[in-house]
Structure 1
């Protein structure tokens, strides 16, 4: 598209027709009312549709570098862990993700780790993305203790219009990729009803070679989906929006094993991932004059199956000690050989995680009309989430790595996880003077969680004996608070200070052989203290936002593992403190040229010992929080220029830096992930009437082996990693009609 792009701003046309330099702000709705981004007293980044086009962003990993402190731990398809400001841990999500008004739920899996399995949805036909940093509990509830991300789609209009896109790219050492996108907007009844249909199809070539099975480029993926939106406006005061999205992903794991070389995988079985997600949403907006009523109800259904390789773990039982433990006495030569034959008969083995998540949410809120005295928002929220997952082992074919069908299960554990939440919330801003505003927010929450499990196909070899159907309940109620004061020093400078808290629900583990004292785990909570400034300089051609914060995090939910290494679970241990600074800046020194930058520094450390016999990599006070780099940043330059009367050109270069981090707090399996710097280039031509555009681009220009996740283990191949794609060169074209 021909419009300029920036994370916060859009170009303002000059009144005399000359090329403008002044920057103007984007409108956001993060506070549940429409405000200008530089007048919103919180740390917020708004990424426009134009910038997403310039970046060629198709998912969250593609825009993460545009937001200070936003980290994506990519563990494979459908397995994103999102964190902000170093608030990173196993368990429920620490960052709330919303598609329009709908909160997106991750699947909990057998280890109650919903925050580690966020679904993948394509970013096509998006109006903007708002990233709110710091706790947003009063307006967005649980699991927004680190912040919230709002993905806001374009809505149906009364214009007949459409857009088609096509792309092709090649990755060094891998297979090519291709994509197609379609948008069609159709008015159905003049000024009353309109429909908008979008569809996408993306074939992603693999670049990881499985050296055990002899399969090159094994981590291919195919994602496709569609979204139908209807907008009904019976009067000028009432708008009803309906949306249904469906998407599916068929992929193979991108995990590779550094001990074998870059992008080399040693899995003895294929590692497919299948996901089908549906999201339905109905939203009413009613302008009552004195206030606006917004009511939303949504339904999400996600069915997913993913495979991991259990072969190497099973082979650890090929020892005389394991044989003796099984028989209860030392094994003679014949018994030992029989034991080895029994263990080998199970290899190769696939650990199959097969599950379904259903989530129903509803929210009703009233937002006052803009006032010079008090602005307020009040509302109620409810959620009913059901998760089912089966963790089961089955043999695979040794030659092909395919799971033998029908499945010949020799172990199965089934878990049902039900979460019900209710909340009442409100926020009010008192405009004490023309320059001074005081805001207070409050949320009362009440949740109940029931976890039910059964081991109906036991596996005595690993201690997974039969376990009857049992249930454990966990519930809690409490308050979340927020206090903000902001002061406009001038029309160009605003200062603010905020104190806000956040929490995540606790729960219960259903793990074989776990001590009863460790079955339940509590919610964890934090307080965020922040001061910030938003400012404009040089006749509004330069905007600079800064924030300083401290986060105190108590009763952290952390991952543990049973003594035999077979099962993971959640527990509470220790406390942490994050002290950080954020910077965002954009400067337009001349017409058509935008320079942008962001920087994040966070010192995230334990303030209490996390010493326990069951915690992975238990830490001591002063240890750094794992998987969070101390510093990260981005620099970008985008230049647009006329080529001819009907043709414009654009060039954009991005450089991003991610500092090093540890994988655990400490211990034998703790590993350091090196820092990395990546560079992206994008250039294109666009018709001046915004009808068509064509771009060439390079991602990861310097071909960095940029580790996103890296973990060590006691079994071969002793370490696994995921990473950014190697150098990728591509092109895409678009046509608007």
Structure 2
């Protein structure tokens, strides 16, 4: 039985009121102790959200910031670990090339794809999606469209990673070692971190080098071959800081990151009613020595696909709840080199500062997609795809800012971004097994049964290789963006009523994209299919904000802001076997940038003699020309189209209360109502449908206690986070819904001496088994369909040692 809309609304109001009461009661407690020294004031937080250092209360937007001390104490390994404590943050945790989920803010997901790219990430001022938080000074999460200062793909918000910079005066050495175990995961995850800072010329030149390396075994087993895989990751970052004068700072940086993953992230919970089985009869006159016929045995009722295909015999000692059955295993690997340069010059001209941030990166990746043995071969023979890709990318941003003490402040700048993908005749190859039994089945299934041709003969005729049956070649792909931007603020002195700041911003962008690709083989037809486009677009995005500060500790703000995700080209062209797909009619060669209009009101500041800090906002976002990934079930390909419109409304609230001089209480909460406002047949979406991958609510609450143990400083923290249910797909099935869940974590640490700290972290202490993402690949119940579930981590125990000299 489902609750009525009135009952649901009442539930959400009650929940919000409960959070408010739970927050204000500790605040009131703090107020009663204000006359004593028992309660310390909450420290001010500085951020650089507007590309200049400001107190967080002075910035007219809803910002969450996590500093270095909290990163260490909470054992936040990657930036994605931060998201679970952020009000309004959803991160399903699937689809990213590194196996981590993208951040979705304010309900902006937009379709049936788990990678909407609606939030941008900047690391040290350059657009770089870097996750490892070791040797990081601060993480800032800016909610809402950031189109004027941060450009494309910042429609939901922007994440800013600020690393620790070289210290020009003191040498230091630091490091961490982490041991981590998880229920049902074999072995122990081990990670090591290190840092060294060396002044080369005192107060003039210094070098800082940091890095990490870690690996862990896969948790999910392929019961076909007893494979569970491994994830390995390492990075090194070097920064050379030169300060020739008090007003000039030059930082040259280099980052290398390696990643390899052969694990399975999702459990196959499919319960097919039948499966394909090939009956082979030896015949020397047949093309590959066998006649082929198909049988369709039934699976036992309720049996999962791994149980069905393995005859009920799950190999090894693994829990059958963590199992898949694949003829070919997957893997992904990539390597990235990034060279960065930042230059900051104070008073380039009297009253004007100049900053430059530029980067060059070289990125290469490869991988194997083994799941096509199921989708293209119905598990009767092995077929797989090998991917290879590489690109170079240049980014430049220069900006000039006023530094005077007057009421007028301004920023102007220019941004350039160019991505050049490497030509490759091995962008994608599909292979099939070379033994005669597999060739006979492939020829019968793809040739006689589906009428596509004999893949072995196609491989010989087209590629001179009987194991290849499909190829995607890239001749050229080049993407460019040029943008000019500016913001200006004027502050009015209102006397006893405080001050009022009015800000206006504008960004002009010009996009160019060029693509030339070719696909050929069994899915295409007798002649290769060529895609060649050379197009682009331009436009402007605006922002206006008003910020009233009646005093230095409180602010009320209003914002109108716009954002966009840059358009691009679909390519390669959909193969011939997609020609009759029900969703092919929406295909276009190029899709355009979508448009975001955000209306927002907020309050933030300190209360109760700075014992209580809060930040809050309510918003409405109108989203048009929404870029959505349209899947074609008959052929397994997808394309992007401007296929929808949507609206998102919500509220966000975050707070910290100082209860005593050693005890803090944190309470964060959000409510999000994100809905489609159009019918989109290709998505299976209807006007009024809830958006995918967006829970109606999320919350986070924590108690943080500083204490003394055996005369040494220590701390303990307990926190709970929770999410409402959400779906992964329009035209929703039960298997597409991730139920609501809550998890509780406990951390504690002690300063062993002035150089070392040891800490213990237990996450999900009640060993909650919850689904963070669930999806049925097909809307039908055919035997090759996959019902996948991605789980949150079960109970994990981590022991961490940090040291600094």
Normalized against structure 2, the TM-score is what? 0.79
Structure showing greater radius of gyration is: 2
Corresponding residue for residue 266 of structure 1: 325
Distance in 2 between residues matched to 1:427 and 1:437, nearest whole Å: 12
Q: Please give the secondary structure, in 1, of the residue aligned with 2:71.
A: helix
Distance in 2 between residues matched to 1:717 and 1:669, nearest whole Å: 14
Taking the TM superposition and a 5 Å limit, the aligned residue runs for 1:91-170 are: 93-104=117-128, 121-157=131-167, 158-170=169-181
Taking the TM superposition and a 5 Å limit, the aligned residue runs for 1:524-603 are: 524-562=594-632, 564-603=634-673
Q: Please give the secondary structure, in 2, of the residue aligned with 1:410.
A: strand
Residue deviations 1:354-398 (CA, integer Å, cap 9, x gap) = 212322100100011043310100000100012358232124699
Corresponding residue for residue 503 of structure 1: 564
Q: 1:712 aligns with which of 759, 776, 779?
A: 776
Corresponding residue for residue 110 of structure 1: none
Corresponding residue for residue 378 of structure 1: 412
CA deviation after TM superposition for structure 1 residue 262, in Å: 2.9
Q: 2:488 aligns with which of 428, 444, 450?
A: 428
Corresponding residue for residue 47 of structure 2: 28
Residue deviations 1:249-275 (CA, integer Å, cap 9, x gap) = 111232221234532222221111111
Q: Please give the secondary structure, in 2, of the residue aligned with 1:565.
A: coil
Corresponding residue for residue 536 of structure 2: 475
CA deviation after TM superposition for structure 1 residue 670, in Å: 6.8
Q: Please give the secondary structure, in 1, of the residue aligned with 2:84.
A: helix
1:81 and 2:105 are equivalent in the alignment: no
After superposition, the Cα gap between the structure-2 partners of 1:692 and 1:313, relative to the gap in structure 1 and judged at 3 Å, is same
1:167 and 1:180 in contact (8 A); partners too = yes
2:472 and 2:518 in contact (8 A); partners too = yes
Distance in 2 between residues matched to 1:644 and 1:291, nearest whole Å: 53
Which range moves more in the overlay, 347-356 or 150-159? Answer: 347-356
Taking the TM superposition and a 5 Å limit, the aligned residue runs for 1:446-525 are: 446-456=510-520, 458-459=521-522, 462-463=523-524, 466-510=527-571, 511-513=574-576, 518-525=588-595
Corresponding residue for residue 618 of structure 1: 684
Distance in 2 between residues matched to 1:283 and 1:628, nearest whole Å: 37
Corresponding residue for residue 188 of structure 1: 200
Corresponding residue for residue 343 of structure 2: 284
Corresponding residue pairs, total: 662
1:671 and 2:736 are equivalent in the alignment: yes
Q: Please give the secondary structure, in 2, of the residue aligned with 1:51.
A: helix
Distance in 2 between residues matched to 1:439 and 1:688, nearest whole Å: 49
Distance in 2 between residues matched to 1:439 and 1:101, nearest whole Å: 22
Corresponding residue for residue 386 of structure 2: 352
After superposition, the Cα gap between the structure-2 partners of 1:383 and 1:120, relative to the gap in structure 1 and judged at 3 Å, is closer
CA deviation after TM superposition for structure 1 residue 19, in Å: 6.5
Corresponding residue for residue 248 of structure 2: 238
1:473 and 1:507 in contact (8 A); partners too = no
1:393 and 2:393 are equivalent in the alignment: no
CA deviation after TM superposition for structure 1 residue 418, in Å: 1.9
2:616 and 2:652 in contact (8 A); partners too = yes
Quote the RMSD (CA, aligned, Å): 2.3
1:548 and 1:580 in contact (8 A); partners too = yes
Distance in 2 between residues matched to 1:213 and 1:407, nearest whole Å: 25
Distance in 2 between residues matched to 1:120 and 1:272, nearest whole Å: 21
Higher helix share: 2
Q: 1:411 aligns with which of 470, 487, 494?
A: 470
2:109 and 2:116 in contact (8 A); partners too = no
After superposition, the Cα gap between the structure-2 partners of 1:662 and 1:407, relative to the gap in structure 1 and judged at 3 Å, is farther
Corresponding residue for residue 795 of structure 2: 727
1:448 and 1:474 in contact (8 A); partners too = yes
Q: Where in structure 2 are there 5+ consecutive unaligned residues?
A: 1-35, 271-303, 305-319, 436-464
Corresponding residue for residue 12 of structure 1: none
CA deviation after TM superposition for structure 1 residue 128, in Å: 0.1
1:92 and 1:143 in contact (8 A); partners too = no
1:315 and 2:326 are equivalent in the alignment: no
Distance in 2 between residues matched to 1:446 and 1:643, nearest whole Å: 60
